[in-house]
């Protein structure tokens, strides 16, 4: 009866949101391409066979990037298994397909109706399901329980907002959390919250944050062919470059004004800026903003593998592609990580840290609270404060000028950032062994 009520409410919510989905689908061209998959009609894999399957799910870009070290470690630890990788969002899917080479099959996660969940599970037939961070759905978990498919939450995190909201629906969340076979949480605070929301204490463990392992697994932190190719295309090493990565609506204006102020300083008039908006649907809007900025700019998508005088001399590069930002951090003199000047909770600072680059963020880093605190404690991060856009613009400009005119300070920040990553690794190995335990494979000696 409980699940029936849940399914009816889910259907009602979908009907209420239908006008919004229709607008997004037909105006912004979202959802149409993956709607059938979300109903459980999944495409076949590239090389279907009878090997057991490990299904790894990541909601969007952040979770997909966080999953990279885990996917690679799972592939190495369980070579007899196939990996299926799913996402919820289009951007997450694009990142997964460009970065997750070990997966034999990609798909979208099904809507949480019983019929769509059953279709997806019938198609994939997983031996175990790994959910990144906090993506829990009642019908999906219930169906896995009925089929005796263990489900593990990896890199588990429960934000302040999510915890507060979930407490209000304790009758629901307690049922949900009891359906998970094992929780591998980022920190003790997250583990305590999972128990408070109904997870049986014996199923909750603290393994650390997998995001710290990304460089070790992906080979990041050193220049590669992609970086060299992009350098040749844009002439990145011919100047000092600021990268504003994963920016959101309302941040590009602040970044551009800070950049203008910086370029008016002696010796900094040749500094260039690369802006990488977080979401592809905003590429055109940011391009229009740049057109009105009186700065010369180029769009990455306008060039293939060869550049020209314009691509190597433009004041601003708009990175309107997926999957190239991480390698470009190697060429940066300073990095601003977006989603943090506005109340979005921030984005991952670890990729630029791997390259020992000085990193700046805004005041809103709630989604990366523990990592931010660790970096601040180590003197490995600059976090801006400011009550309004004007103050934040001034702070950002001042800090960028300080980094670009003080080589020793820039080196200190970058070295501390790299060290913070290296000394916090290990969560991936602990999570992989938890997966081995769930599917009955003896631990490594």
Place of tokens 């979908």: 14
Two tokens, residue 417: 């950032």
Q: Which residue in 247, 240, 291, 243 sits closest to 268, CA to CA?
A: 240
The span from the CA of 428 to the CA of 358, in Å, is: 26
Residue 221, token pair as written in the block: 């932190």
Q: Single out the residue of 28, 80, 33, 87 nearest to residue 54, CA to CA.
A: 80
- Name which of 299, 327, 301, 297 is nearest 313 in CA terms: 297
Alpha-carbon distances of 50 from 57, 84, 281, rounded to whole Å:
21, 13, 39
Q: Which of 369, 362, 355 is nearest to 410 (CA)?
A: 355
Q: How many CA atoms lie within 13 A of 330 on its CB side?
A: 18
The DSSP bridge partners found for residue 274 are: 243, 317
Reduced to 3 states, what is the DSSP secondary structure of residue 105?
strand
User: Which of these is catalytic: 63, 143, 184, 351?
Assistant: 63
* Backbone Cα Rg of the chain: 22
End-to-end CA distance of the chain: 47
Structure tokens at 24: 């997004």
Cα distance between residue 219 and residue 239, in whole Å? 26
For the chain, the helix, strand and coil percentages under 3-state DSSP, each to the nearest 5: 50, 15, 35
Strand pairing report for 316-318 and 359-361: unpaired
**Residue in 364, 358, 356, 368 with CA at minimum distance from that of residue 335:** 358
**Strands (DSSP E) along 19-69, which ranges?**
53-58
- The answer to whether 126 and 173 have CB atoms below 8 angstroms apart is no
63 catalytically annotated: yes
Residues with catalytic roles: 63
């Amino acid at each position: 009866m409980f699940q029936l009520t849940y399914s009816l409410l889910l259907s009602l919510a979908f009907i209420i949101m239908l006008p919004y989905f229709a607008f997004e689908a037909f105006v912004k061209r979202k959802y149409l391409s993956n709607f059938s998959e979300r109903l459980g009609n999944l495409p076949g894999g590239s090389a279907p066979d009878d090997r057991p399957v490990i299904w790894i799910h990541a909601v969007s870009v952040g979770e997909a990037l966080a999953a990279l070290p885990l996917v690679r470690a799972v592939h190495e630890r369980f070579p007899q298994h196939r990996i299926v990788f799913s996402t919820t969002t289009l951007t997450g899917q694009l990142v997964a397909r460009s970065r997750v080479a070990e997966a034999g099959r990609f798909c979208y996660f099904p809507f949480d109706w019983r019929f769509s969940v059953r279709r997806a599970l019938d198609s994939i037939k997983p031996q175990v399901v790994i959910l990144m961070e906090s993506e829990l759905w009642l019908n999906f978990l219930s169906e896995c329980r009925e089929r005796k498919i263990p489900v593990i939450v990896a890199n588990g995190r429960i934000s302040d907002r999510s915890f507060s909201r979930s407490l209000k629906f304790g009758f629901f969340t307690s049922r949900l959390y009891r359906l998970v076979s094992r929780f591998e949480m980022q920190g003790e605070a997250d583990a305590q919250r999972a128990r408070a929301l109904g997870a049986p204490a014996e199923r909750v463990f603290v393994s650390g944050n997998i995001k710290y392992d990304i460089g070790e697994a992906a080979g990041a932190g050193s220049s590669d062919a992609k970086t060299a190719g992009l350098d040749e295309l844009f002439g990145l090493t011919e100047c000092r470059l600021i990268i504003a990565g994963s920016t959101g609506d309302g941040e590009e204006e602040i970044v551009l004004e800070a950049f203008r102020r910086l370029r008016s300083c002696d010796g900094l008039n040749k500094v260039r800026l690369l802006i990488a908006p977080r979401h592809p649907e905003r590429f055109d809007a940011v391009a229009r903003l740049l057109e009105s900025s009186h700065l010369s700019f180029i769009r990455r998508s306008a060039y293939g593998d060869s550049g020209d005088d314009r691509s190597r001399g433009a004041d601003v590069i708009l990175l309107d592609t997926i999957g190239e930002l991480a390698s470009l951090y190697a060429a940066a003199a300073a990095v601003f990580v977006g989603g943090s000047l506005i109340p979005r909770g921030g984005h991952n600072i670890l990729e630029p840290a791997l390259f020992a680059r000085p990193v700046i963020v805004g005041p809103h880093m709630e989604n990366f609270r523990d990592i931010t605190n660790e970096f601040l404690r180590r003197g490995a991060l600059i976090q801006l404060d400011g009550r309004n856009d004007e103050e934040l613009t001034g702070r950002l400009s001042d800090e960028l000028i300080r980094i670009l005119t003080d080589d020793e300070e820039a080196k200190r920040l970058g070295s501390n950032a790299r060290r913070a990553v290296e000394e916090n690794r290990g969560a991936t190995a602990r999570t992989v062994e938890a997966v081995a335990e769930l599917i009955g494979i003896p631990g490594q000696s």
